[in-house]
Copies of this chain bind each other. A is one copy, B any other.
Amino acid sequence: MSEIVKVALAGLGTVGGGVAKLLIEQSDILYNRTGKKIELIAVSDLDKSKVASLNLPNSVQYYDDALKMIDETTADIVVELIGGADGIAYKICQKALAAGKNFVTANKAMIAHHGNEMAKMAEQSGSEIGFEASVAGGIPIIKSVREGLIGNKINEVYGILNGTCNYILTVMRETGKPFDEVLADAQKLGYAEQDPSFDIDGIDTAHKISILGSLAFSMPIDFDSLSIEGIRHISALDIAFSEELGMRIKLLGVGRKTEKGVSLNVYPCMIPQTSEIAHVDGVFNAVVTEGDFVGHSMFVGRGAGERPTASAVVSDIADIAQNRSVPMFNIRKGTLSELQKISLSERCGEYYVRFEVIDQPGVVADIARILGKEGVSISSMIQRGKTGKTVPLMMTLHEAVEAKVQKALNEIEQLSTVTAKPCMIRIERL
């Protein structure tokens, strides 16, 4: 890379605007640190008015068409901050890599769905791909896993990867309010989208943990193999009882590698309050890794937003500007291999379950009998005063195989005294 590194930026939304600001405001710092003049030479956005609000230097060319921008400029690095797994974002990626440009993105959906092809394209054209901003926003977790922990076999990686969910769960705990109400408030405050399903149903977390899992375990991205569960079913009662149990509920992406294979999933967990990650609240993200030499490490920071995400995007630009290249999936081509996947039904762990039952003799006995039949034993039980015709009944279960727990819950759901689908939350002693 020559002394002047030219950047073309596609997408001037929240993050794109932040990157433009950072490159301009901190150009001296970046030059002093990297020895390279990193110049924003072109930007593209369908909406030209966004350019005006950014006060860009006159030297920055505007395009309404990002593909045309790639054709007509001599950028060393194309930055895509439009989003979406496919569509224009992926066209930009393909065109940039085909043209031998280096490519930087914050697009977790694209990497989760097309990461393997992207890595292949980059290899063929000799380009670099930077995607630090795709996981956990401002936290330099991709750099830490691929470079900082390079000497380690990582056998576990998990984290709070979605600020919206963490915010909702935090406010539910602090206020005792139900999920729907807190979600509605979060939408008003701009912490949740009008269509929140991408966040609260765990898809966004799944994109991120699938990326982290690939890096940590050196395997190709395999988004479709993930089991994904969101937080819609978490009630104020579950939150209150988790506190009584000395636990806290967090939506986690969880990746584990054992001799049997790799499990990579997204689900809400009850974790002990003594765990550090239990105290990562609000919109913050956190990632925990377990390496065979380094042991337990945790990385906490802002997982989204204009400025934190811009910080991550620019760290990729700086790395590429300085020729600090790293294999995309933390391993050189040819050495990446598929690993055996372990499904969530094989999980062996503890569980919290909540039933809504008609308050009459024999209910607990029926439930206990069905659990017992599957070899699942109860570790603790709480029943509280009536809330109407039915009462909530909470149990924690000793370590058991999930398929058996699930089978028992399905049978319990059929009982005439059980009035709603049982709620199950996995307990993780992190």
Stretch at the interface among A39-47, A75-83, A302-310: A302-310
Q: In chain A, residues 148-185, which have Cβ atoms closer than 8 Å to a Cβ of chain B? A: 148-153
Task: Kindly identify which residue among B34, B153, B307 contacts A295, using a CB–CB cutoff of 8 Å.
Answer: B307
Q: What residues of chain B lie closer than 8 Å to A332, measured between beta carbons? A: 32-33, 35
Question: A96 near B: Cβ within 8 Å?
Answer: no
Indicate with 1 or 0, residue by residue over A354-378, a CB within 8 angstroms of chain B CB atoms. Answer: 0000000000000000000000000
| Most chain B beta carbons < 10 A, residue from A147, A331, A332 | A147
Oligomeric state, in number of copies? 2
Q: In chain A, residues 390-420, which have Cβ atoms closer than 8 Å to a Cβ of chain B? A: none
Known A151-B310, A276-B280, A295-B308: A32·B315 in contact at CB below 8 Å? no
Stretch at the interface among A60-68, A121-129, A316-324: A316-324
Question: A335 near B: Cβ within 8 Å?
Answer: yes
Alpha-carbon gap, A151 to B297, bound state (A): 24
Q: What residues of chain B lie closer than 8 Å to A35, measured between beta carbons? A: 332
Question: A30 near B: Cβ within 8 Å?
Answer: yes
19 additional contacts (CB under 8 A) given A32-B331, A291-B311, A296-B300: A30-B150, A32-B332, A32-B335, A33-B146, A33-B218, A33-B327, A138-B294, A140-B147, A143-B148, A149-B311, A149-B315, A151-B315, A279-B279, A294-B302, A294-B311, A295-B308, A296-B301, A298-B298, A298-B301
Question: Footprint of B on A, CB under 8 Å?
Answer: 18, 22, 26, 29-30, 32-35, 132, 138-140, 143-144, 146-153, 218, 274, 276, 278-280, 284, 291-302, 305, 307-308, 310-312, 314-315, 318-319, 322-325, 327, 330-332, 335
Closest 5 CB pairs of A and B: A140-B148, A151-B314, A297-B301, A138-B294, A294-B311
